[in-house]
Structure 1
Amino acid sequence: MLSGPVGGAWLALAGGRLVYGHDAQGNRVPDYSFAGYGGGGVPLPQAPVKVTVPAPGGGDMTATVQAAIDQVSALPPGSGGLRGAVQLSPGSYHIAGQLHLRTGGVVLRGAGSNASATTLAATGASVRTLITLGGTAQYTTVGAVAQVTDAYVPVGATTLTLSDATGLSVGDEVVVERPTTQAWIDALGMNGVWTPNWSLRSERRITAVQGDRVTLDVPLTTALEKQYTQATVYRYTFPRIDHVGIENLSLDGQAMTAAPDYATTFYNAAPWEFDAVQDSWISNVTWHHFGGSGQTALGPQSRRVSVLHTQALDMVTTDSSARSEAYLLQGQQNLVQDCAVTAPKVHAFSTYGRQSGPNVFSRCRATLVQETYDAGGHQRWGSGTLYDGVSVDGSLLLVNNGTRGSGHGWSDVNSTAYNCVTQQYAVQEPPTAHNWAFGCTGTLMTGSDGQVVSDGTHVTPDSLYVQQLHDRGKQ
């Protein structure tokens, strides 16, 4: 078990800036401000309109809208990697199939997100994802693989010592790979729950090289402990599309609920899914009557995606023993800000596992409709998530989920609940890691042995994410 803060507080304000405490091993609250488009604090670009789709008639518009997307996709990229926007007219576009954004620089834009502006309405009683963005990719190592020789690299660190930094230069994109070992699984108490068949891969950019010491642009959210694992660093390729966006429209999935197998397939009734996508966004979008991974499914191959000013309303789930997710974050450096959920029986704001963060939910609210919500990491070492000013009519859980589900185990680690409003919340302390809560209200649940500060009373600053952006000169 790690220690608490040494000689001071975990967080304090001095001269308008945050001062970070640390434990005896050097671990500190991560800087989560690198989450979001462009690495956080970067305004979304405005794509020029290249194709306008006429007002919809009464028939299926899938082919028409897809043709407009394909037309813009064929254009050469312009300033900032943007090809242009497909402008949808006001009205309800019936979508009997799926829409695909496969090329970077393309934005799908409506005339507004309310029901009288632009709506993409699913038709046909079949469960599906209405819009897919990007494809799938895999890591390809480029050049030599260097070992991390430090005995311990704490959470929040950006500097590593390598066995050989030859061939690495400022600006290089690298992976810091932390393999899972049986020794580490045993230390976590996850023996028999997890197996050592995965790695945590943190994608970073080198900002300085001094001898065999390299400095990274984004702090690590899981410690590198040589007693448990041998971390490595290598250059890589990982093809993604970028600068794709969905803006100013609404979506409706009501027709999918008539599928004969909806009771077991509702998880797949989703408005969209991000695969290998980076530096992209969803802005000013509302969707109704979807049942699956609700809002985004920002998948494990996504990074630096912003989801701003959105609403997941009237989700349609079933009495399945497991809940679906309204807002689901995976990947790295992803941000959901200013969002709302209404639904029965869902994980309102959640993450899946084997992610290296940082990821952020900020100023999001889940309003009770029928059954109590919960929020928090869902499974398997979701590292470095910030729940910032989140309001949940239910429970916020940064906990060990043990053998529940498929053996979810420690689901939030090195994560922070900050000025959250809940009915109840739990913050447990993982072996080899921390979880923090600052200024949260609601009943602190039994077994909360994590780092809890100012239980029941909000703290300053109001938003940790905004303050961290400010301290980086991004706000």
Structure 2
Amino acid sequence: MKKIIVFVAGWLTIINAYAQKGESQWVYRGKDGKLTYKTTPAGDKIMDFSHAGYSGGGVALPVVPVKRVVKPSGGNDDTPLIQKAIDEVAAMPLQNGFRGAVELAPGTFTCSGPVILSASGIVLHGSGSGPDGTTIKMAGDNHTAIVIGRGNTKVPLGKTERSDSGEVNAAHTLITDTYVPSGAVSFTVADASGLALGDTIAIIRPVTENWVHFMEMDNMWRDGKKQTWLKVGARGVTKRKVTAITGNKLTIDIPLADSYDSKFLTQPGVTVMKLKSAPRVTNVGVEFLHIQCPPLEIDYGHAPYAGIRVGGDDCWVKDVYCEETMNTTVLAGNRITMEKVIVKHTYANLGASKPTDFSLEGSENLIDRCEITGGNMYFVWTSSLIPGPNVLLNCTFRGIGSRIQPHQRWSTGLLVDNCTVPDGGIDFMNRGIAGSGHGWTMGWAVAWNCVAKTYIIQNPPGAVNWAIGCIGKREQTGRLFDKNPVLPDGNFDSHGAPVAIQSLYLAQLAERLGNKSLRNIGYAANTAGMFPNKQVKAFSVKTDRDKVLGLNLALNRPVNTSSSARNFGGEKALDGIADTYWRTNDNVTKATFEVDMEGPVNINTAQLSEALGQHIDEYKIEAQLDSEWKLLWHGTTIGKNLIVKFPATTAWKVKLTILKARNYVTINHFGLYLQSENQEKKI
């Protein structure tokens, strides 16, 4: 009989550590009180992140006059009622960038389709996100509750179309510097004659074969198939405004979030083009609302409802409580502020593939004082080739098996500032073949004065990532699914002792715009008192320890199955409860059960048990290591409480394949263990 033990871990050591204050060698106050930055030998430095947020940072969110008030109808669908009021305000003229607000009265609005804000200058304003406020109750077919922007109504759950490429005119030149460091605000071009002060420019960084090779991203294979990180010929685009021109030297308004090394970017080189921006929805806000859908024990690919998609620039979402939505928000525009957005999940996401509640798909965005509770997910991720600055500030994210982890294919310039992740990790890392070849996910990122259970901070070739003043366990690993080589730590500075500059973002903002800019966004000062969540306790952690075999390393791990009957998902075989089980659909006698170990785990023993009698006649167990599947065991019958031993191996994933069965498959326990010699003698 297995024994279930529950441990509760507090944050006493973290609280004690927070009484100590260190100093960063990378950003500190000089004798004049100004921020001083250390550079790498190549001249790179931590960028100024203070431009993130609505209207470029440090600007108070507008209070917009109400032009229409909508009350709940009590009917089956209030979507047309709300949309009619929005469309009426959309027909009004712009005054100082705004048309007006649509106020939703207290009560519950049942909505079976998306509320669409496709015109600039409109605010959807509820009467509060609490019990006595405004609730949008989601019903009907799969949809997103609120969509900001044009062309966003028929986008699959979790994605938002972007339409911000702009139109290029004749001004077209190349950067001529041999190396432009990350954090720089100036560079030299071949010909600046076609540019003028105030022009918006696109700095276009090509993906070249030389650069992909330098990043060691041309050697990824999965199950014998080549994996593509970034396609040669793809382009990373950074938008900036020209603030000064001296000869052919350009100065820009916001520092660069990446470096440009001519050795790897030749043919065609880094291009600078003047932009005529395409029309975008701007100055749209959503605030003081509760978005509610029913709790579902489900994988995110089948989840019916998402929260808010922001496909415009200079927009905001404030004081919104999202209950049970999956892939809750997407920030697909620029200069967006998400403030006090709270997301709650009753059940952890099912399956090894994980969703996110904050998807960063634009630049200069600020996620401030937000909270998530949810297991088996990425709290925040980044999309491909997204340049910073993007900032997470003063956020608290809770959930077992969840983490802040930039997700795919090279984003740059992310600041995770004073965030607390007591049950999970903060990772700036190489995801290798994960997904479809996510590879190096992030460069030039900073975790500043954070608290997390674990950190995986790695330096990509030619780039740097930092963890400064952070508390939590440092971990090293190879790129995902590879045992070797173990990648060395990135730049840890003052680890275990928070640094004296409480918030890097607020310090940079105050230095650029003055202390009033802090008050504009709701911070009285840049002090520890403004960051109260450093003492959040971790969740209770359940463990499963067999008296003979030891600790079950597969307990509650994410699992994917090729077949699962309704209410009998693969997670039921990993929950440590004898009466629950995984079951395939009727007449399914061949199936796979793939467990994600969420990191390299050493194992040498498996324990299996069928729930409803002996149905299985042939099976195999494999482990994924170095991007390939290795056979651990091949057998026939399983029955009750089968224990199999194999040579110790490091596994990222473990797969049980049912090759032959006389009826549908039922497994009520699948355990993985690393036995010592003394434990083996007891069997």
TM-score bracket, normalised by the shorter chain, equals: over 0.9
Q: Identity of counterpart residues, as a percentage?
A: 34
The question of 1:97 aligning with 2:113 is answered yes
Q: CA deviation at 1:267?
A: 6.0
* Cα distance in 1, alignment partners of residues 29 and 302 from structure 2: 46
Q: Aligned to 1:207, what secondary structure does the other structure show?
A: strand
Q: How many residues align?
A: 455
Q: Is the 8 A contact 1:387 1:418 kept in 2?
A: yes
Aligned to 1:5: none
Checking the alignment, whether the CA contact within 8 Å between 1:385 and 1:416 is kept in structure 2 is yes
SS in 2 for 1:265: helix
The one-letter code matched in structure 2 to 1:163 is A
- Partner secondary structure for residue 156 of structure 1: coil
Task: Decide which of 72, 78, 83 is 1:61's aligned counterpart.
Answer: 78
1:451 equivalent in alignment to 2:496: no
Match of residue 580 from structure 2: none
Aligned to 1:467: 507
Task: Tell me how far apart the structure 1 counterparts of residues 379 and 293 of structure 2 sit (CA, whole Å).
Answer: 18
Map 1:53-202 → 2, pairs under 5 A:
53-79=70-96, 81-124=97-140, 126-135=141-150, 136-137=162-163, 138-192=165-219, 193-194=228-229, 195-202=231-238
The structure 2 residue matched to 1:410, chosen from 413, 434, 440, is 440
Native 8 Å contact 1:149 1:163 kept in 2: yes
Shift of 1:321: 1.5
2:330 alignment partner, SS class: coil
| Cα pair distance change 1:75/1:185, threshold 3 Å | same
Letter in 1 for 2:28: A
SS in 1 for 2:244: strand
Partner Cα separation in structure 1 for residue 415 and residue 99 of structure 2? 33
**2:323 aligns to what?**
288
Q: Deviations over 1:369-411 (max 9, x none)?
A: xx32211211111110000011112111111111111111111
Which residue matches 2:449?
419
Matches within 5 A, 1:243-392: 243-254=283-294, 257=296, 263=299, 265-266=301-302, 269-275=305-311, 277-291=312-326, 293-294=327-328, 296-299=329-332, 302-314=333-345, 318-368=349-399, 371-392=400-421
* Secondary structure, counterpart of 1:472 in structure 2: helix
Q: Secondary structure at the match of 1:242?
A: coil
Is the contact made by 1:290 and 1:315 (CA closer than 8 Å) also made in structure 2? no
Paired AA for residue 505 in structure 2:
Y
SS in 2 for 1:65: helix
- Cα distance, 1:169 vs. partner? 1.0
Amino acid at match of 2:102: V
Segments of 5+ residues of structure 1 without an aligned counterpart are 1-7
Deviation at 1:318, TM superposition (A): 3.7
Q: List structure 1 segments (4+ residues) > 3 angstroms apart after TM superposition.
A: 315-318
Deviation at 1:115, TM superposition (A): 2.7
- Does the residue aligned with 1:228 lie in a helix, a strand or coil? helix
The DSSP-based 3-state class of the residue aligned with 1:50 is strand
TM-superposition CA deviations, 1:297-324 (whole Å, max 9, x none) = 112xx10000011101126554222110
Q: Indicate the residue corresponding to 1:3 in structure 2.
A: none
How does the TM-score come out when normalised to structure 1? 0.92
The answer (yes or no) to whether the contact 1:158–1:218 under 8 Å persists in 2 is yes
Would you say the 8 A contact 1:11–1:18 is kept in 2?
Answer: yes
Moved more, 236-245 or 384-393: 236-245
| Partner in structure 1 of residue 250 of structure 2 | 214
Match of 1:45 in 2: 62
Letter in 2 for 1:93: F
SS of the equivalent of 2:214 reads: helix
Name the stretch that deviates more: 438-447 or 213-222.
438-447
Residue 357 of structure 1: how far off its partner (Å): 1.0
Partners of 1:208 and 1:214 within 8 A in 2: yes
Q: Distance in 1 between matches of 2:345 and 2:420?
A: 18
Q: Deviations over 1:56-110 (max 9, x none)?
A: 423310000001111111111002x111100110001000111111111000000
> Is the contact between residue 305 and residue 335 of structure 1 (CA under 8 Å) also seen in structure 2?
yes
Provide the residue aligned with 1:21 in structure 2: 38
Q: Distance in 2 between matches of 1:252 and 1:183?
A: 49
Q: Partner amino acid for 1:342?
A: T
Any idea what SS the aligned residue of 2:74 has?
Answer: coil
Amino acid of the residue matched to residue 36 of structure 2?
V
RMSD over equivalenced CA pairs, Å = 1.7
- Counterpart AA for 1:123: A
CA deviations 1:266-321 (Å, max 9, x no partner) are 4673111122x111100111110112x22x2112xx10000011101126554222
Measured in 1, the distance between the counterparts of 2:145 and 2:283 equals 19
Compute the displacement of 1:164 (Å). Answer: 1.0
SS at match of 2:313: strand
> Conserved in 2, the CA contact under 8 Å of 1:332 and 1:355?
yes
Q: Taking structure 2 as the reference length, what is the TM-score of the superposition?
A: 0.65
* Counterparts of 2:346 and 2:148, CA distance in 1: 22
Structure of greater Rg: 2
